[in-house]
Amino acid sequence: MNHSSITLKGGDAQVNTDGVTEAKKPVGSNNPIASQRFMADPFAIEYEGTVYVYGTNDSQAMIIGEDGEIPQNSYSYIKTLNCYSSKDMVNWTDEGIIQVAGENGPAKWAANSWAPAVTYKKINGKDRFFIYFADNGSGIGVLEGDSPTGPWRDPIGKQLISRETPNCGGNEVPWLFDPAVFVDDDGQGYLYFGGIGEAKDRDHPKCARVVKLGDDMVSLKGDPVELDAPAMFEDSGINKINGKYYYSYCTNWDGADKRPDTIKLGIANIAYMVSDNPMGPWSEAKVVLNNPTYFFPDVPGNEFNNNHHCMLQRGDNLYMFYHSQKPGVDMGLTQGYRTSGVDMVTIDKDGNLTSVMTTAGVESTLDFDPYAMVGAATFAWSVGTSTIVGPKQDNNHNNRVLSSIDPGDYVGLEKVAFGTDGAKSLTMSIANANETGTVEVYIDDHTKAENKVGELTVTTTGSDTTFADMSVNLAAPVTGTHRLFFVFKAEGILVDTWSFGKDPAICPPKHKL
């Protein structure tokens, strides 16, 4: 489990040899969701109180040559997806990399996996989960799973939407990609997709489609129907809000000379239309979210940003997930690597939508429980660390551990609720093949010595595959709700899990996983 790190020419970022980036997400920056891997084209669902976000694994495009040069982002290498989860929208768990296409994935016939759309439906009394993905621009595939994190299987052995699908020829839908999926209240599923390519009519390319899915969610019920989205470029989205259907998409890059009727929708903005029926007809298009250049105008190279989104309703709140190149540029990478953030959507009394992109992001919606067994790949902020595949793997769990740890690196969590009785101890599961070190524990502010509440001594376990539970009793019980920080004064350790205790610690014996 030895993952070395190199500094690449053309950027300040540290990148592991497996393409995983050392995070740069300081305190207060709730966006991006995570920065240990680049993730584009986000799509979010909520299941049993947890939000799961899936996206294109841009980090897989970082095919590093011997010269150490950072390559321009080329989507042709991408055959995997990323997944993160959160109950509170701020502390995110790295659920790992989903193998999709090619020899390492279940869809071995597929060349790529881009821009996923995910949903679930109860079939034969059991919830089943479905990932619809773009096999580059040639068609759309589907995977099926038994949980939001898999394991995933290929149910049909081919593209669900292809050039042979009626109304989906190259002259009709130049780009067969960027799916969005929706299951209505009556259980009927709908799939939306399409892209402009070289369509001659740039105002009304009529390159989007909607089709009813079969009851099994892996077949079609009828033929795809044309959807006239003005100035559409790519990136379908679908939501049901207050009984109305909102179809959203990214507008194209053409100026007024090619788009005299629709230039008011702007360049590569997210627009939406409303209907009383999931298949239309649709209202006049309006803009909900401007291009990233509008929000991050001073980012070098950001003029090349494309735009991709997903909206998720959670209770009374509507969230906008999107990607931009800003996080990568902040890390010294200007080669087009994208990653995802989330902000609120405002709905006015007439049902009009507006949203923004920020680095602050959204606020936590729930207290975090420090007494549960917490995977160390869960955090709100992180500087210097990364994650790798952990030791505990089975068909239902893609365990990630905290890695790439150097002295001075830290992770932090928001709104950690220690309660009135308070925490008296901390236990961490750590693998350490190096010399001893420490993990300093802070509340509220990791830069102030007076906020330090404990210091865990890290002993050697002999290898980076042997984990031991290491404990420390805190200086005094920690009560109330605080930000929590682990500041590492150790090098090369791996952290699997941690939990606080309401009693003094008794350190368990070393165990090998």
Q: How far apart are the first and last CA of the chain?
A: 12
Q: Among candidates 96, 95, 52, 86, which has minimal Cα distance to 414?
A: 86
What is residue 368's three-state secondary structure? Answer: strand
List phi, psi (to 5°) of 493: -80, 160
- What gap in Å lies between CA 134 and CA 178, rounded to an integer? 6
- What gap in Å lies between CA 326 and CA 297, rounded to an integer? 10
Give the burial string for 327-346 (b: 16+ CB within 10 Å, else e). bbbbbebbbbbbbbbbbbbe
For the sheet with 270-275, list strands across it. Answer: 232-241, 244-251, 270-275, 286-289
Listing DSSP states for 177-202 in one string gives ---EEEE-TTS-EEEEEE--TT-S-S
**Cβ contacts of residue 93 below 8 Å, gap of 6+?**
84, 85, 86, 375, 377, 378
**Cβ contacts of residue 424 below 8 Å, gap of 6+?**
473, 474, 477, 501, 502, 503, 504, 505
**In angstroms, what CA-CA distances link 472 with 78, 158, 274, 368, 446?**
43, 54, 57, 21, 18
Give the Cβ contact number of residue 104 at 10 Å.
Answer: 11
Catalytic residue among 94, 135, 172, 234: 234
234 is catalytic: yes
Catalytic residues: 41, 234
